Amino acid sequence: MKVILTFVLVLCLCYGVKSKCVMKSECHLVNGFPRNCRYNGTAVPVLNDDLSGEQKEDAIRIMLLRCPELTLDENGQIKPYNEIVACCDYAQLRGMADNLLLAEGVLGRCPTCLRNFVRQICELNCSPDQARFVDIDTLPLEDGREYVEEVYYRMHEDFMDNAFDSCSGVIVPQTGLPAVNLMCGNAPVCNSSAWFGFTGDITNNPLAPVQVNFLRTQTIEDSAY
């Protein structure tokens, strides 16, 4: 019994240490895109006292629409507001909502496809468990803070493949071509790795705000989903 209790305690401690953020808030602009700050701390309530009533309503609306996994409990009900915690703040939520309008215009014809695409963006930026599957490289600012230069995003291969498959049938009416073809860049083969890779490739994708390297994994312990 002592051995079992010790194991459970160690397991809880390990996950407790990892359940934190690596980045949060915006502190620098690069080529017109805001870059997040390094943040080595725990997630904080989305609805903090610095927000106005209108901003709080907007934040909840965005969280429900774009990040329901972080906003609803296991019964599908909205969590108490003090339990809705994230590694992103209101400015990031508002920016994410605005930036996803283009993706919604292209992928919104298939709700499952759009939901999968949006979820990986929400988890990367806002998950309270961010440090478990995200690593970052940073550069220093003169005020002592560090901004994110590059992101390493570990994602389970099943989610990558299923998300790609859910979007493979979405056709862009103007071209008659699958939307994923446009989102694979110049990759010789348009598959899940090429699709996700292009979305985070600042060299070839002018809409990518920061370099995000998607790392396929087969283990759930250190990956998203």
* β-pair partners for 23: 38
Instruction: Select from 14, 70, 224 the least CA-distant residue to 135.
Output: 224
Residue 144 reports pLDDT greater than 70: yes
Separation of alpha carbons 225 and 211, rounded Å: 21
Separation of alpha carbons 40 and 22, rounded Å: 5
Separation of alpha carbons 194 and 128, rounded Å: 27
**Can you read off the two tokens belonging to residue 122?**
């929400």
Residue 10 reports pLDDT greater than 70: no
pLDDT the model gives residue 6 = 32
Q: Write the DSSP string, 79-143.
A: PPGGG-EES--HHHHHHHHHHHHHHHHHHTTSHHHHHHHHHHHHHHHH-TTGGGTEEEEEEE-TT
Q: What is the pLDDT of residues 36-59, one digit of tens each?
A: 999 999 999 999 989 999 999 999
Mean pLDDT of the chain: 90
Q: What is the pLDDT of residues 48-94, one digit of tens each?
A: 989 999 999 999 999 999 999 999 999 999 999 999 999 999 999 99
pLDDT the model gives residue 53 = 94
* Other beta carbons within 10 Å of 53: 7
Q: What is the pLDDT of residues 154-195, one digit of tens each?
A: 999 999 999 999 999 999 888 888 899 889 988 889 999 999
Kindly give the residue spans of alpha helices, DSSP state H, lying in the chain: 2-18, 53-66, 68-71, 90-107, 111-126, 157-167, 179-182, 192-199
pLDDT-derived band at 19 (thresholds 50, 70, 90) equals: low
Q: Give the amino acid at 169.
A: G
Sequence-distant (≥ 6) Cβ neighbours of residue 2 within 8 angstroms: none
Residue 9 reports pLDDT greater than 60: no
Separation of alpha carbons 37 and 88, rounded Å: 10
Tokens 């901004």 found at: 147
Q: What is the DSSP pairing of strand 85-86 with strand 44-45?
A: antiparallel
Contact 170, 179 (CB under 8 A): yes
- The pLDDT > 90 percentage for the chain reads 80
Average pLDDT over residues 123-138: 97
pLDDT the model gives residue 174 = 84
